[in-house]
Structure 1
Amino acid sequence: MPLNFQKMHANGDDFVIVDSRHSDCPVTSAMARRMGDRHRGVGFNQLAVLLDCDDADARVMFWNADGSTLDVCGSATRGAADMLMRESNVMSITLRTHRGLLTCERTSTGEISVDMGQPLFNWRDIPLARELDTAVLPLAGSPAACSMGNPHCTYFVDDLAVVDIATIGPAIESNPLFPLKTNVHFVQVINRKHIRLRIWERGAGIALGSGSCSCGAAVNGIRRGLLDSCVEVECDGGSVMVRWDGVGAVFLIGPVEVSFSGMTADSY
């Protein structure tokens, strides 16, 4: 069946939004794979489907381009919030995801701020295959792990230019230590308020940006004592701000833009 969609991006981290409020969710794993194909479909890092919800402005379900599901996507959450706020002419909304209720606000500069919830550090919550200290994993390079509703593994390096992300990223993503696979970050600390981040995204590969990865990388840097509580995260496609006081929720602030709207063919 044909689907109306909107293609958006957040600093080049591209996603597609399908509005299925007032109807059943039409998206399947196979459909997500076809739509996510950059040669034969629309192409995206993530797909977000909006659904009716009794206790929030909408419920959002997420897919990766490989057809796998995920609990939350920071970039697509900002895009969904931007779309719904423009539709209702309001400055804040609440979205329900598998991560829980996420409060979203438009800032004075037009960017979207999302309360991404508290990070999780217990090995079961990430999850890891066995009980370990998640601040320093027993892998070469001693990365840290956390969950922002999806698993994150963060390496801190002296020089990003010498890191072979295309080789290391997929090897760590599928390491047996991560039974649900993991996002992989490579972080160069510029100063305590600024990091440079490159990303291997679970189910998507090298990404220009990622909201949840930006949060996970900043959180792991803060808990390591490398960063202050408010951090500029500079990705390949642009920068976002991440705030975390070390105790409560993580806040993600950044821009989103509409690329185009369209309709899939009947063959979907």
Structure 2
Amino acid sequence: MTQEIGFTKMHGIGNDYIYVDSTLYNIKNPEKAAIAWSDRHKGIGSDGLVLIGKADIPEADFTMRIFNADGSEAMMCGNASRCIGKYLFEKGLTKKTSIRLLTAAGIKVLNLTVEGKVVKNVTVDMGEPVLDNERQFANTDANGKETTLKISEKNIFGTFVSMGNPHFVIFTDDLTTDSIEHYGPQLEHDSMFPERANIEFAKIQEDGSIRMRVWERGSGITMACGTGACATAVAACLTKRTGRTATISMDGGELQICWNKEDNHVYMTGGAEFVFEGYIHF
């Protein structure tokens, strides 16, 4: 028996997800729904599915669960968290401009910049980057240093950074789609990453900003990745390519990233947009 489910499609600099208020709709098989609804020809079309709920612990206000386009569950998404902040405030589900969001990667704090009743941008405290998570990266000796993986008989140099979910950041002059589609899936599934990984391909620009493209774990090439932008900024600083603040330019737009020296937290600032709403039977 199918049910009618209300949804909202939103994007954060082109990283688009389907958002459902799980307090109103109980999706019994979100993995299957994510696959069906993310299909850009036969479904709604998105990079995945996000379920928004009320937190049942006093330390958090709301919860998020996120499922990639292939049905796999992710721990966190920076672009999706900004969209959730806008969704909650503009739909009147909260009056707070500082929201504590419980994710599988811990509690993230969303600070909203509001003009009137509109959320203009959101700064997310993404927490501390982790450089030596052996559950996500088998090379425990790397600890923030560039390491080498051999893919298709080519040595690939990159830096592992976990922002709750695993990232491998590669600085290269080749940001072509052909190259990303060739190396991205091989790196994502490399044995060095027990939980697979998101792969960032980045280049330092003349103005000091960073141009980055991403192969997202479970979704392929996407317009943007918030946690990926954070990981790229951290990797650029670790390898002395930039300082602790950076503008990350992706296919869908820009994010401002600051790796704060005082608390070691990474702060991500950017916008979020509504696309459309509707109902789907599932």
* TM-score, length of structure 2 as denominator length: 0.88
Checking the alignment, whether the CA contact within 8 Å between 1:78 and 1:112 is kept in structure 2 is: yes
CA shift, 1:11, in A, is 1.3
1:98, distance to aligned residue in structure 2 (A):
1.0
Q: Tell me which residue corresponds to 1:261.
A: 277
Residue in structure 1 matched with residue 105 of structure 2 by the alignment: 99
> 1 CA distance for matches of 2:229 and 2:50?
19
Summarize deviations over 1:169-197 as a string: whole Å, max 9, x none: 11111111111111111110115741000
Deviations 1:119-145 (A, max 9, x none): 1111415x1234331422221231000
Pair 1:62-2:46 in alignment: no
Q: Within 5 A, what are the aligned runs for 1:231-242? A: 231-242=246-257
Give, in whole Å, the separation in 1 of the partners of 2:219 and 2:111: 27
2:121 counterpart residue number: 111
CA distance in 1, matches of 2:89, 2:99: 7
Residues 38-82 of structure 1 deviation map (CA, whole Å, 9 limit, x = unaligned)? 111112113110122132221111100100001101111111111
Cα distance in 2 for partners of 1:61, 1:108 equals 25
Contact 1:173–1:184 (8 Å) recurs in 2: yes
Question: How far apart, in 2, do the equivalents of 1:148 and 1:235 lie?
Answer: 18
Give the RMSD, CA atoms, in angstroms. 1.9
TM-fit CA distance, 1:25: 5.2
CA distance in 1, matches of 2:24, 2:250: 36
Shift of 1:108: 6.0
Instruction: Tell me which protein shows more strand as a share of its residues.
Output: 2
Task: Give the drift of 1:209.
Answer: 0.6
Q: Deviations over 1:82-108 (max 9, x none)?
A: 111222343221111111111101236
Check whether the contact 1:143–1:156 (CA below 8 A) recurs between aligned residues.
yes
Cα distance, 1:163–1:264 mapped onto 2, change above 3 Å: closer
Counterpart pick for 2:137 among 124, 128, 133: 128
Q: Output aligned runs, 1:180-259, within 5 Å.
A: 180-191=195-206, 193-246=208-261, 248-259=264-275
How far does residue 198 in structure 1 lie from its aligned partner after superposition?
0.7
Residue range with higher mean Cα deviation, 91-100 or 235-244: 91-100
Which whole-Å CA distance do the structure 2 matches of 1:217 and 1:154 have between them? 6
Name the SS of the counterpart of 1:122 in structure 2. coil
3-state DSSP of counterpart to 1:198: strand
The secondary structure found in structure 1 opposite 2:190 is coil
Q: Give structure 1 regions of 4+ aligned residues with deviation exceeding 6 angstroms.
A: none
Output the CA distance in 1 between the equivalents of 2:253 and 2:148: 31
User: How many residues of Structure 1 are paired with residues of Structure 2 in the alignment?
Assistant: 265
Is 2:20 the counterpart of 1:11? no
1:102-181 superposed matches below 5 A = 102-107=108-113, 110-125=120-135, 127-134=136-143, 135-139=145-149, 140-161=155-176, 164-181=179-196
CA distance in 2, matches of 1:61, 1:236: 25
Counterpart-to-counterpart distance in 1, 2:25 and 2:279: 17
Unaligned runs of 5+ in 1: none
Partner residue in 2 for 1:44: 46
Secondary structure at 1:75's aligned position in 2?
Answer: helix
Aligned counterpart in structure 2 of residue 35 of structure 1, from 16, 22, 37:
37
1:129·1:178 contact (CA, 8 Å) conserved in 2?
yes
Structure 2 runs not aligned, ≥5 long: 150-154
Which amino acid letter does the alignment assign opposite residue 248 of structure 2? V
Query: In structure 2, how many angstroms separate the alpha carbons of the residues matched to 1:162 and 1:42?
Result: 24
Q: Matched residues in 1 for 2:9 and 2:54: separation? A: 20
